[in-house]
Amino acid sequence: MVQSINPRTGAAFGPNFEDTSISEVDSIIKKSRNAFEGWSSISHSKRAEILELVADGIDSNATALVEVADLETGLGLARLTGEVARTTFQIREFAKAVRAGKFVTPEVDLFVVGAPPVGHPGFIRSLQPLGAVVVFGANNFPFAFSVLGGDTASALAAGCTVIAKAHPSHPQTSVAVFDIAAEVFTAQGFADVLTLIHGVQAGAHALKSDSISAGAFTGSLKGGRALFDIASKREVPIPFYGELGSVNPVIVLEGGAADPKALAASYLDSLLLGNGQFCTNPSLLFVLTGSPVKEEIAAQILERKPTPFLSPATKSLHDSRREELSGILESQPVSGVEITDGGIYSTPAVIFTELEVIATHPEALSIECFGPTGLVISYSGVDSLLAQIASLEGALTASIFANEGDERAIEVVKALAKKVGRVSWNSWPTGVAVSIGQQHGGPYPASTSPLHTSVGLHAISRFLRPVSYQNFPEQIAAQLSHN
């Protein structure tokens, strides 16, 4: 059972949400699987049209949705309004993509006369939706990575049905979004294309079901790994797209620090955006020893004010990690403004250290402080920096600040590219564009499936499986495809 908590006051409010019982989950799985037959069979254009109606439904209820989400998450009206726009944009982009045949158009490989290996029958390589899938929403994006977020939208666009597991830190928002979408699907004759469940046990049970074909997850390393293990240990293992923890490195080369004051300010803006509760948070910053950027950060952090955590659990985990990191590195955090008004806050802080210290405490770089804590590491030269990058674990994203003439910049970029799914030039990692070129996924522990992305149009591919039709006469083949 769960109840909403207002992060600005710590007070519980609103109805209690019961965990979905195991028998209810079984019944929902059955409904989802039945709904798959219809949803996977309609034309791409019809599927796109219905998804667009869902997006319209969300948009026309945006004000009410943002209000409830703000009460549950404390993320603020401006950010949440933007997030709703992003969420419906995302749904419409996926809809547009499948309508245009992107990712779903069969590849035609014509008959070649002659003996093998050169000669071969004709093939039509189609892409077919996997089935009913379970999506585990994240706490930090109550719209864009939640019930109707990118995982759900891309799976629906592919033709899968989705069982969404609501995140306990925003149950009211989850139900409100679900109700709007479910009404549209039902009105269009596709009830149960999207279903909703509550509770950790309910989610795990669904992932184990023979009738479930894939899972998608955004959240912590611990939770994500547990679910990945469930998916992998099944008698019939299924794809599991987990986007887990990530400690994202940002490198400042000498030429990238021309304006130390502005760089420090933009660093703190990115670090503290949404109270630092982003999977793309720039939590590791590497600056040259003696760089004035360090002094600027140390000065500017003093003025930074806290914003609320998403939940008491998030704060408590963050605080213990910050303490652990500070202890390992024997370096006291330099902290910002403290506020004690009953809200779920921690003072923003930066911990400073040197590459030589990290060398004896490499475990420090795996500690993800999900919240308003940065680690600034001074390095004495590019060679030692490159060695350090080579031993980083996988991450979602990395940034480099350099000028175009910086002769070592290419080397650093290539080293970063081996560790992450996205490298940004002179720009911060937060703010993940929904676009065809996006890659939001990296080597483990950033993702359990680094060949795929959870943001951007390629996300659809995670839910499609190739089926080749060999030697089919044209008129039969024509009856198999629909677009």
Does the protein bind a second copy through residue 426 (CB under 8 A)?
yes
Does the protein bind a second copy through residue 443 (CB under 8 A)?
yes
- Among candidate residues 52, 72, 243, 296, the one labeled active-site is 243
Q: What does the block give as tokens for 242?
A: 């987990």
Q: Per DSSP, what are the bridge partners of residue 464?
A: 129
Does the protein bind a second copy through residue 117 (CB under 8 A)?
yes
DSSP category for residue 334: E
Distance of closest approach, residue 89 Cβ to a second copy, in angstroms: 4
Does the protein bind a second copy through residue 149 (CB under 8 A)?
no
Work out which of 438, 454, 459, 460 binds a second copy, going by CB under 8 A.
438
Using DSSP bridges, classify how beta strands 464-470 and 123-129 pair: parallel, antiparallel or unpaired. antiparallel
Contact 316, 5 (CB under 8 A): no
**Whose Cβ is closer to a second copy: residue 196's or residue 423's?**
423
Distance of closest approach, residue 345 Cβ to a second copy, in angstroms: 27
Which 287-326 positions form the footprint of a second copy (CB under 8 A)?
A: none
Distance of closest approach, residue 286 Cβ to a second copy, in angstroms: 18
DSSP category for residue 117: T
C-alpha span between 131 and 136 (Å, rounded): 16
**Whose Cβ is closer to a second copy: residue 30's or residue 125's?**
125
Does the protein bind a second copy through residue 123 (CB under 8 A)?
yes
Does the protein bind a second copy through residue 33 (CB under 8 A)?
no
Distance of closest approach, residue 261 Cβ to a second copy, in angstroms: 21
DSSP category for residue 330: T
Does the protein bind a second copy through residue 96 (CB under 8 A)?
no
Q: Which residue has the tokens 């795929």?
A: 452
- Span interacting with a second copy, options 255-263, 293-301, 347-355, 427-435, rule CB under 8 A: 427-435
The beta strand positions in 176-221, using DSSP E, are 194-197, 212-218
C-alpha span between 190 and 90 (Å, rounded): 21
Using DSSP bridges, classify how beta strands 107-109 and 123-129 pair: parallel, antiparallel or unpaired. antiparallel
Which 230-259 positions form the footprint of a second copy (CB under 8 A)?
A: 232-233, 236-239
C-alpha span between 145 and 423 (Å, rounded): 22
C-alpha span between 439 and 459 (Å, rounded): 9
Does the protein bind a second copy through residue 409 (CB under 8 A)?
yes
Residue-level length of the chain: 483
> Residue 199 contacts by C-beta under 8 Å, 6 or more apart in sequence?
18, 19, 20, 165
Q: Which residue has the tokens 């703000």?
A: 70
Which 125-144 positions form the footprint of a second copy (CB under 8 A)?
A: 125-126, 128
Work out which of 441, 454, 459, 460 binds a second copy, going by CB under 8 A.
441
Indicate if 356 belongs to the active site.
no
Does the protein bind a second copy through residue 465 (CB under 8 A)?
yes
- Among candidate residues 83, 93, 160, 279, the one labeled active-site is 279
Indicate if 279 belongs to the active site.
yes
Distance of closest approach, residue 6 Cβ to a second copy, in angstroms: 28
Residues taking part in catalysis? 243, 279
